Structure 1
Amino acid sequence: MQYQFIKYLKEINTSTTSFVDEIATILDIGYDAAYRRINLKTNLTLEESVKLAKYYKISLNKLFEVGSKNTILVETSPIITNEEHLESYFSKSIENLIPLTKLKSASILYSAKDIPLFYTLKDSYITRYKIYVWLKLTNKEMTKNKVSFDDFIDTIPHSLLEKAYELGRTYNFINITEFWNDNTINGTLQQIIYFFESQLLSKDLALKICDDLEDIVNHVEKQTIRQSIINSENNASYNLYKSDLLTMSNIIMVKTSYKKAFFVPYTVLEYLKIEHQETCNTMDDFFSRQMSNSKLLVHSGEKDRVLFFNKMMQKINKLKELINVGTSRGFE
Structure 2
Amino acid sequence: MTLTDNIQSAFLDQVKRRLAPNLSMADELSDILNISRDSAYRRIRGETILSLDEVKTLCNRFGVSVDSLLSPSNEMVSFHYRVVDSKHFTFDKWLKSVLHNLEMLVPFTDKQLIYFAKDIPVFYYFNSPLMGPFKMFFWMNSVLKEEDYQDVPFSPDLIPKELVTLGEKIWRRYTETPRIEIWSEETLNVTLRQIEFYHECGFFANPQHAAQLCDEYILLVREIRSWATLGYRDKPENKFHLYKNDLLIADNTILFRMGDKRVTFIPYNTMNILTTSQEPFCKQTEDYLVNLINKSVLISTTGEKERAKFFNQMEQKIIQLKNRIV
TM-score, normalized by the shorter chain, greater than 0.5: yes
1:255 offset after TM fit, Å? 0.3
Structure 2: 5+ residue stretches without partners: 10-46
Residues 50 and 176 (structure 1 numbering): CA distance in 2 closer, same or farther, change over 3 Å?
Answer: closer
Q: Which one of 220, 223, 231 corresponds to residue 219 of structure 1? A: 223
Counterparts of 1:317 and 1:270, CA distance in 2: 32
Comparing 293-302 and 180-189, the one that deviates more? 293-302
| Amino acid across the alignment from 1:115 | I
CA drift at 1:117: 1.1
Aligned counterparts of 2:8 and 2:135: Cα–Cα separation in 1:
53
Which residue, 308, 311, 323 being the options, matches 1:321?
323
Q: Does structure 2 retain, via aligned residues, the 8 Å contact 1:137–1:268?
A: no
Q: What amino acid maps onto 2:196 in structure 1?
A: I
- Give the aligned partner of residue 265 of structure 2: 263
Shift of 1:140: 2.9
1:213-272: per-residue Cα shift (whole Å, max 9, x none)?
1111101111111011x245x731000000001111101100011310110011222100
Query: Contact 1:83–1:160 (CA<8 Å) still a contact in 2?
Result: no
Conservation of the 8 A alpha-carbon contact between 1:227 and 1:237: yes
Q: What is the root-mean-square deviation of aligned Cα atoms in Å? A: 3.2
Q: Does 1:62 align with 2:64?
A: no
Q: Kindly tell me the number of residue pairs found equivalent between the two proteins.
A: 283
Which residue is 1:72 aligned to?
77
Q: Residue 89 in 1 paired to residue 91 in 2?
A: no
**Of 181, 184, 197, which residue of structure 1 is paired with 2:184?**
181
Q: 1:162 aligns with which of 162, 165, 181?
A: 165
Conserved 8 A contact 2:68-2:76:
no
Q: Do structure 1's residue 121 and structure 2's residue 123 form an aligned pair? A: no
Q: Partners in 2 of 1:209 and 1:7 — Cα distance?
A: 62
The TM-score normalised by the length of structure 2 is 0.78
CA-CA distance at 1:135 after TM superposition:
0.4
Give the residue type in structure 1 aligned to 2:143.
Answer: T
CA-to-aligned-CA distance 1:110-165 (integer Å, 9 cap, x gap): 00000101110114100010011110133335599321113xx2122111111111
Letter in 2 for 1:130: K
Q: What per-residue deviation string (whole Å, max 9, x for no partner) do you get for residues 60-90 of structure 1?
A: 143331x343112100034243798222222
Letter in 2 for 1:191: Q
Q: What amino acid does structure 2 have at the position aligned with 1:227?
A: G
Which blocks of at least 5 consecutive residues in structure 1 are unaligned? 1-5, 15-24, 29-45, 325-332
Matched-pair contact (CA < 8 Å) for 1:178–1:239: yes
| Alpha-carbon distance in 2 for matches of 1:13, 1:173 | 36
| Secondary structure class of the residue paired with 2:208 | helix
Cα pair distance change 1:80/1:215, threshold 3 Å: farther
**Residues 304, 79 of structure 1: CA spacing in aligned structure 2 closer, same or farther, 3 A cutoff?**
same
Pair member with larger Rg = 1
* Other-structure match for 1:243: 245
